[in-house]
Structure 1
Amino acid sequence: MLIYVCTKAQFLKDVSSGRIVSILEEAFRRKGLLHDNDRESTAWENSLSAVANVLNTKELPNDLQIAVEYQIPQTSKRVDLVIAGEDIESRPHLILVELKQWTEALETRQLGIVKAFTGGQIRAVAHPSYQAFSYAKTLENFNTAIQEHQIGLHPCAYLHNYSPSKREQIFASQYQEVLDAAPVFIKREETKFRKYLLQWVQRPPREDILKTVDQGEIRPSKALQDDQKRTIIIEGGPGTGKSVVAVRLLVELISRRGRNAQYVTKNAAPRNVYFKELRQEQYTLEYIKNLFKGSGSYVNCPKNAFDCLIADEAHRLNEKSGMYRSKGENQIKEIIAAAKVSVFFIDEDQIVTTSDIGSVDEIKKWARKCGSQLFRLEGGEDTLKLTSQFRCNGSEGYISFLNDVLEISSTANYDGFDGDYEIRVYEDVCQMREDLRQKNLINNKARMVAGYCYPWPSKNSNDPSIYDIELEGAFRARWNFNSTDTWAIDSDSFDQVGCIHTAQGLEFDYVGVIIGLDLRYENGHVITDPSKRAKSDQSLRGLKKRPNPELADRIVRNTYKVLLTRGQKGCYIYCQDPALRDYMKKRIEKMNLPEA
């Protein structure tokens, strides 16, 4: 979105007259946008004045195009400054400039992260070069005009107040790769910055480059072979590789086929893990975040804006979007409408809240309404199925065993299953934690999870003496901290306990499951008791006013099935209900498996 665009000459006039801030504020209002606060207005005044000093030379043509706060299409990200022009051979170029008022920064050991004073305090933030570089990569990968018009992209950063005596921090060796891709210019480097600009924009543009880019279609430039929308539904139980296939599909479409695709989930936990792990591969956070999206991202998305949207954990999709669930109509509809091809990976037995609406029938209904053709196999089936078990040491029988034990469905695996999978039921939850801790020391791939039967008093407290889960044997623990989005892989998070919302979609080598009193064994049957859920749990939201015992029962059983299938090599179990503990021990004793 072009918020403010003009020639270099007009930009210099707007700055020198002192009107640039009011012009920008009016432009924001005209576009229906809000800018952050007075600090942003101050930043405009200071930084744009510094830019004007650099541009105020006859060497740079007066008819260069200047854009301020350019919003990249289909994102919320804004580039501080864009300069458009042509080189001596009449090739078009865009220079993307990240502006900072910093006077100093501190290097960190984190890839692409520095510490700087911003927002009233010292914070860990992206290195300015990484910010500029990520904007360029987003445009390069998601805008057809860049490719079709062969527009050169040149990211950089201008830290006009940055002290030369502190340069070793911002130019530290660990940032060298991105500094090469997006150079930084600091205080007293106006001439150096100007020379950099002159490499790319020695002539004014013959065409409106900024308008061309802003109106460019989302990548790829070539349409599919026909205009027929298509929807593919893929069913698979826990551990059948749904997420692996989904991510592999994303990689194939993006890197090998040049398609515009995104991976979509309702649950943020797997996305956050992908963010952190891909950052270690030197991808920028903004680039990664443009590939992995929340399911509420398509409320106002144009029709067929994407070649492919890949909805993993589609059973978790909701009707409404937004924090207050007040936006949009239906997430399934919005995903199908936004993509030429929509792919849904689904397991209806993993529906774990009353807000989950994802079902095969619901997807088919919206595909018909949106005119999207269901993919069919040669035999006529319109749903693909993943059946091979990759988790639980490849034991498909373990899933059947759980279905029987939890009385989700009767199976032939009453007495167990084949496979080298370690399952234990513990009398002592403290011992379970210590055994699991030893597994975690190997590679940080063991975690504890629990049913949502315990309140969260530590959430808004800094008191280290407050615990959320207190069980017999002096067991005390907290739910996973809300200060991190990557509990599943953090090096210091073992003693925190995850719940269904932070564990679904993830896997570990070993998982320890605490089964609360919402699942018990009485009169020869496994029964559910939703009233034992913590009051803070939103999974059963709405069932007090409109009771639905069948749905509540299904959600409790599904929750524990999901938790009990998070381990690739083994599952350790503690049941708070002694009768359920004895029942599960007896079931396991019938198998030739290790038992504690």
Structure 2
Amino acid sequence: MPSLKGWINATSRINQHLASTDKAHLTTVRVIVDETFNKSVCLDLESFLIRMLAGDGAYSVLNRNDGITESAYYDRDRYQETFEQVFDRLKDDGVFTRTIPEIENSDLFKLSPFKALTQDQAIAVEGILEGLFEDLETRASSTGTSTGTSTTVVQGEPGTGKTVVAIYLMKMLVDIQAAPPAEDFDRDTMFAEFFAGGYPQLLDGLRIGLVVPQQSLRKSIQKVFRKTPGLRADMVMTAFEAGESDEHFDLLLVDESHRLNQRANQASAAQNTKFRTITEKLFGHDDTSKTQLDWIRAKSTHQILFLDAAQSVRPADLPTHVLDDLVTGARQHERLYPLVSQLRVNAGADYVGYVRQLLGASTDHPLAAPLRPQTFDDYDFRLFDSLAEMQQQIRARDAEVGLSRLVAGYAWPWKTKNDKDAFDIEIDGIRLRWNSTQTDWIASPNALEEVGSIHTVQGYDLNYAGIIIGPDLSYDPARGTLIVNRDSYFDTKGKENNPRLGKTYADDNLLRFVSNIYAVLLTRGIKGTYVYVSDPALRAHLAQYIPTAALAPALTRSDEYFERSAPRFPQ
């Protein structure tokens, strides 16, 4: 039984909640009792339940974002088992509507503002907040007009949680902004100091927004914002919407900043017109050297840019030298925050570098040499000789853990865009179709039977990803280099020249984009990545570096399959 002091603390906390105007309507209280729980365990359980409730989506989570972080304490693994028992009891009581795996596979969970931060993410958030408040304080103590601007850069490879930090910051800023001055804050939370001491007043009236260039990811984040008190879907916008806005923003966060556009032929005539009119409105004339990054800077006093130059996948994306200059400038002004902890791929941070090196995405274009074969513990990384077998195994993994999909480079024309009865990809008797929707394809009903493109999966997690490397990428054994096959690459916007800026994209330029695409695709899988390669020479080459899968019948349990079909390197 809990001590008298424990009951008094619980009663006091309940009264605090009921005294809040935001929570006075609540009618039910559940008290979780365990005599072995110390304060560290209680905070960890609270963090776990908040994350699960936000991901389940049945209820709105009223908690503030004041510092949920992964904490280490004695016997934590044993307590985690107890947390699952608590969850099951609450689910039986109707508090949760889905299981833990179902919640963890959802966008509401993966893009939740209540994620627990890693140490480097927490350091980045704290540094960004300190810098922002310093800027705002300087502004408040001056004549009242904003004269200084700042640009902060958060840099990280795939899976380091750039999007998580962006969403976390958005929620924290609106929570600080709305913090009641007299409320008693838990001083043990990491960012509690920012909820008092004049910080909320510095955010009074602050206009903030989140720019997300990719359509699918933007729609998913908007869905999360609709479910989150304090956040609104219209806070999440395109670069065009930010540029067209009549209001000036105090702060704009830009996720996947490498996907902002320079002046180039847009996806529609209307967007080409918008690009010109926005530039004219902001700079007085149609300056073709201006990019969407210039719009962001013109429309906001402060910017926080999340980027990874190696994830640029189209010629219209910001040029590499612009991204390099951003990083250099942020470093000089001590506003650069690197994220290094690998949160997605269970193979660890070395896997991302290995894949990039393997595909030449981190070099000038030849395959990096010497590259020694690596294996990754607890990660299912394998090369298939048969697309049919890989498809079968992706289906088996989806039946086991969900969220397992086939994805591919844009190496086949999109016939089904106009003919729904056609097939897009045909290999060795296997016929497949491209994604039937551009928005939230991963969670769409037919996703398991379709193939996603880079534009449907960039920024997302999968449990298992089956990557089809198409005929757009091949290998020259004589020269030991990758080759891009322009005629087999069907993303028109991915290879067209830019006469407006006098830019012509040779095969070397195109190779960089195609290599980047496959490197992005190969870093989507949390538990495993399967690979099928169309070009025989490239397949033979990659077999030196990716364990090959022995053909075996599909089984319902992945551990049985591993025993009977163990990946192997050629001897």
Q: Is the 8 A contact 1:269 1:505 kept in 2?
A: no
Q: Is the 8 A contact 1:264 1:312 kept in 2?
A: yes
Q: Is the 8 A contact 1:253 1:260 kept in 2?
A: no
Query: Counterparts of 2:225 and 2:566 in 1: how far apart (Å)?
Result: 37
Paired position in structure 1 for 2:160: 240
Paired position in structure 2 for 1:319: 262
Paired position in structure 2 for 1:450: 408
Are residues 1:487 and 2:441 paired?
Answer: yes
**Pairwise mapping of residues 214-293 of structure 1 onto structure 2 (< 5 A)?**
225-226=138-139, 227=146, 228-258=148-178, 259-277=206-224, 281=227, 288-293=232-237
- AA aligned opposite 1:310: L
TM-score (norm 2): 0.57
Q: 1:564-592 deviations in whole A, cap 9, x for unaligned?
A: 11111110100011221222222124999
Q: Is the 8 A contact 1:246 1:310 kept in 2?
A: yes
1:560 alignment partner, SS class: helix
Q: Is the 8 A contact 1:397 1:416 kept in 2?
A: no
Aligned CA distance change for structure 1 residues 274 and 300 (closer, same or farther; 3 Å) = closer
Structure 1 residues without counterparts, runs of 5 or longer: 1-221, 369-373
Are residues 1:539 and 2:459 paired?
Answer: no
2:509 alignment partner, SS class: helix
Paired position in structure 2 for 1:169: none
Q: How many residues align?
A: 360
Q: Is the 8 A contact 1:260 1:306 kept in 2?
A: yes
Aligned CA distance change for structure 1 residues 417 and 302 (closer, same or farther; 3 Å) = farther
Query: Counterparts of 1:538 and 1:254 in 2: how far apart (Å)?
Result: 37
Which of 279, 287, 292 in structure 2 is aligned with 1:331? 292
Q: Is the 8 A contact 1:469 1:476 kept in 2?
A: yes
- AA aligned opposite 2:299: A
Q: Is the 8 A contact 1:235 1:386 kept in 2?
A: yes
1:415 alignment partner, SS class: coil
Paired position in structure 1 for 2:241: 297
Paired position in structure 2 for 1:469: 425
2:447 alignment partner, SS class: coil
Paired position in structure 1 for 2:356: 403
TM-score (norm 1): 0.55
Q: 1:537-596 deviations in whole A, cap 9, x for unaligned?
A: 321121799342321111111111011111111101000112212222221249999528
Which of 490, 496, 502 in structure 1 is aligned with 2:450? 496
Which of 521, 526, 547 in structure 2 is aligned with 1:568? 526
Which of 337, 341, 357 in structure 2 is aligned with 1:388? 341
Structure number with bigger Rg? 1
Q: 1:58-105 deviations in whole A, cap 9, x for unaligned?
A: xxxxxxxxxxxxxxxxxxxxxxxxxxxxxxxxxxxxxxxxxxxxxxxx
Aligned CA distance change for structure 1 residues 278 and 344 (closer, same or farther; 3 Å) = closer
1:263 alignment partner, SS class: strand
Structure 2 residues without counterparts, runs of 5 or longer: 1-134, 140-145, 179-205, 280-290, 550-561
Q: 1:438-474 deviations in whole A, cap 9, x for unaligned?
A: 22224531111101010111112243xx1111111x2
**Pairwise mapping of residues 95-244 of structure 1 onto structure 2 (< 5 A)?**
225-226=138-139, 227=146, 228-244=148-164
Are residues 1:521 and 2:475 paired?
Answer: yes
Query: Counterparts of 1:244 and 1:255 in 2: how far apart (Å)?
Result: 16
Paired position in structure 1 for 2:433: 478
The Cα of 1:511 is off from its aligned counterpart by 0.6
Which of 509, 513, 516 in structure 1 is aligned with 2:463? 509
Query: Counterparts of 1:492 and 1:536 in 2: how far apart (Å)?
Result: 23
Higher strand fraction (1 or 2): 1
Aligned CA distance change for structure 1 residues 388 and 362 (closer, same or farther; 3 Å) = closer
Query: Counterparts of 2:487 and 2:521 in 1: how far apart (Å)?
Result: 18
Paired position in structure 2 for 1:38: none
The Cα of 1:420 is off from its aligned counterpart by 2.1
Aligned CA distance change for structure 1 residues 552 and 441 (closer, same or farther; 3 Å) = same
The Cα of 1:411 is off from its aligned counterpart by 7.3
Paired position in structure 2 for 1:18: none
- AA aligned opposite 1:520: S
Q: Is the 8 A contact 1:233 1:343 kept in 2?
A: yes
1:290 alignment partner, SS class: helix
Q: 1:244-302 deviations in whole A, cap 9, x for unaligned?
A: 111111111223335432221211111122334555x4779xx7431211122222335
Q: 1:124-153 deviations in whole A, cap 9, x for unaligned?
A: xxxxxxxxxxxxxxxxxxxxxxxxxxxxxx
Higher helix fraction (1 or 2): 2
Paired position in structure 2 for 1:81: none
- AA aligned opposite 1:427: D
Aligned CA distance change for structure 1 residues 439 and 288 (closer, same or farther; 3 Å) = farther
2:150 alignment partner, SS class: strand
Paired position in structure 1 for 2:121: none
Query: Counterparts of 1:260 and 1:322 in 2: how far apart (Å)?
Result: 30
Identity of aligned residues (%): 28
